[in-house]
Amino acid sequence: MEEKKFDLNSIIGFVLIFGILIWIMYQNQPSDKEIAAEKAKKELVAKQEAQAKADKAKTIAAPVVAATPGDTVQLAQLQKTLGGFAYSATLPSAKDSFTTIENEKIKLKIANKGGYIVEATLKEFEKFKKGSGQLVELIKDNNSNLNIQLQTTDNRTLNSKDLFFEPTLTKNGADQILTMRLKAGANEFLEYKYVLKPNDYLIGFDVRSQGLNRVLNSSKPLNLAWDLKTYRNEKSVSYENRYAEIYYNYADGKESYVGQGDHKEETPEKVDYIAFKQHFFATILQTNTAFEKADLVSENLVKDEKVDTLFTKQFKATVPLAFSNGEIDYKMNLYFGPADYKVLKSYGKEFQKIIPLGWGIFGWINKWIFVPLFGFLSSYIAYGIAIIIFTIIIKLAMSPITYKSFLSQAKMKVLRPDITELGEKYKKDPMKKQQETMKLYNKAGVNPMAGCIPALIQLPFMYASFQFFPSAFELRQKSFLWADDLSSFDSVVKLPFHIPLYGDHISLFPILAAIAIFFYMKMTSGDQQMAAPQQEGMPDMAKMMKIMIYVSPLMMLIFFNSYGAGLSLYNFISNLITIGIMFVIKNYIVDSEKIHAQIQENKLKEPKKPSKFQQRLQDVMEQQEAAKKTQNKKK
């Protein structure tokens, strides 16, 4: 019986594939952050806010609101101290009141104090699971702030978040327009203008000043500070946190991101939008006048993924607002909505770049093949069935490549006895053996690389799927069979303990995918080994292949247990289809006897002219052989 061997190219291919798999699993793994420190920080902030209110009540509210004609000197002194903005403390809006605007998609609550959004609720989406009754709230309970530092002409610093704005709500057709003015006088103010259109996630947000030349120091820009502590909205803390980070877009169209980690910072220049992206939702600040620079900070708030958590990330952004002719005038937009590729793209502002579809050819495959194809299918049929049909189409389209790969293996298998004979004949001369082997390949019309190239062509599609399915907003809270949410893990058993790397639950689709991979590798490993020529110095390749047959399914089982069920379903169906295609090719298409006859016929013909690569390789080997002979003569 002929001994089964395994070639170097195959083992390198498998190592590369699973190396890529491990890298994909861990490239965005979040790191720990101290819960105790976060709790202490929260308590400190609460104390500071309470103290600030007490101080303000003593220094502002009493003397300003209760002012009488006899208090003229005292009021004038206070106005000077506050740079003129003490005027706002005498307005009816100088109290903790709110204005609410809403449309079919979002509900916003804007506070008089600070003039910024203190609640942002998405009316179409629920937290954790469908039917929970808890709407997704991107902003609530002071998890977000928007503040402008006001530098006065007498070198004092005021914070807009601590001062009171006067609201005015009007309508322009179906549009709701909320104007918030922080007044330093009757016609002197800092203004935020919010414009909410019907059935829209995008809110117009203009920031401008009027008549503040005498009050504000316009020699340097004002700093706008925006921060958001992101609420957890999905079932899996680790999965959601893995895809939560800050993205930004340069004015020239290039996009980038801050990255994952315990604490990450970036200071890009000429930025036209900043996105605080969660897994499936995003809050975006976009400007028509590019920010000269942006100081961006991302902090991980998840210390232990095994422990239930309220927040995932702390995002912070600070940008300068430059003066023009002594005034501030920025036309901007705020987006509160789903991180849905199609929705984001519809705004024509490059928002869709925050969806991590991959770089280079991987992104190209997702943008031009996966996104439109899956979007078309899912618009007509249920999402689970759409994944299955989507997978069938992709695999059938790749079947010619699978056929080429198997055909190459069959040809190499036929040549195996000849290669073994050359190995015995030139056992003491490895260089001569390689040269004669190359001549045999050329004479028989066989390309030894033909089996590797098809596998390499399929790799980008595999990687693209790892990017596409976790980013597919359409799968969120869509059920199929036992999976109640295709965007999260399909737990069928809840474990009373936590297994490192695996988790505290058992997902069924990864088990099915692992079984399919096992049988696929068992089916193909024998043919690969039979086709591969024996390699000098590699006696354990066959054993390593046998190990990989068991390691590969185990890796699938472990790493995909907490991944979205949609991706596991895709891998399960993909491997089933591949097994079927290989079975048909092996038993009904490829005829080993015909291949053997064709190769024997090719041997009788004039050898084909070698390709440039083969010629260069042959020249190198001949030069090495000549150098070796010369060295031996000198000895």
Q: What is the pLDDT of residues 158-189, one digit of tens each?
A: 999 999 999 999 999 999 999 999 988 888 89
- pLDDT tier at 347 (50, 70, 90 boundaries)? very high
Do 331 and 289 meet the contact criterion of CB atoms below 8 Å apart? yes
Cα distances (angstroms) measured from residue 590 to each of 410, 446, 561, 601? 8, 15, 37, 17
pLDDT for the residue numbered 418: 75
The residue with greater pLDDT, 31 or 372, is 372
The residue with greater pLDDT, 431 or 466, is 466
Helix, strand, coil percentages (3-state) for the chain, rounded to 5, are: 45, 25, 30
- CB burial readout 13-23, b (16+ within 10 A) else e: bbeebeeebee
The residues pairing with 269 across neighbouring beta strands, listed in sequence order, are 293
Do 366 and 468 meet the contact criterion of CB atoms below 8 Å apart? yes
C-alpha span between 116 and 34 (Å, rounded): 29
- pLDDT tier at 19 (50, 70, 90 boundaries)? low
597-621: average pLDDT: 62
Alpha helices by DSSP H, listed for 449-540, are 452-471, 508-531
The residue with greater pLDDT, 456 or 480, is 480
- The phi, psi pair for 478, rounded to 5°, reads -100, 130
266-280, 318-332, 453-467, 552-566: which range is least confident on average?
453-467
- pLDDT tier at 416 (50, 70, 90 boundaries)? confident
The residues pairing with 319 across neighbouring beta strands, listed in sequence order, are 224
pLDDT for the residue numbered 485: 92
C-alpha span between 225 and 221 (Å, rounded): 13
74-78, 498-502, 582-586: which range is least confident on average?
74-78
Q: What is the CA radius of gyration of the chain?
A: 33
- pLDDT tier at 618 (50, 70, 90 boundaries)? low
pLDDT for the residue numbered 96: 80
The residue with greater pLDDT, 75 or 606, is 606
The predicted-structure confidence for 507-564, as pLDDT tens digits, reads as follows 999 999 999 988 888 877 655 544 445 445 444 555 666 777 888 888 888 888 888 9
Distance from the Cα of residue 105 to its chain's centroid: 25
The residue with greater pLDDT, 389 or 501, is 389
The answer to whether residue 79 scores a pLDDT higher than 80 is no
CB atoms within 10 A of CB 166: 18
The residues pairing with 126 across neighbouring beta strands, listed in sequence order, are 135
CATH fit for domain 67-356, picks 3.40.50.720, 2.70.98.90, 3.30.360.10, 3.30.300.30: 2.70.98.90
C-alpha span between 140 and 429 (Å, rounded): 76
Question: Which of 329-333, 442-446, 587-591 has the highest average model confidence (pLDDT)?
Answer: 329-333
C-alpha span between 5 and 525 (Å, rounded): 10
- The phi, psi pair for 497, rounded to 5°, reads -145, 170
- CB burial readout 71-101, b (16+ within 10 A) else e: eeeebeebbebbbbbbbbbebebbeeeebeb
147-151, 290-294, 346-350, 578-582: which range is least confident on average?
578-582
Residue 480 gets which letter from DSSP?
B
CB atoms within 10 A of CB 515: 16
Q: Report domain extents, the chain.
A: 8-23+368-604, 67-356
Q: Taking Cα atoms as reference points, which of 559, 572, 574, 561 lies closest to residue 24?
A: 559
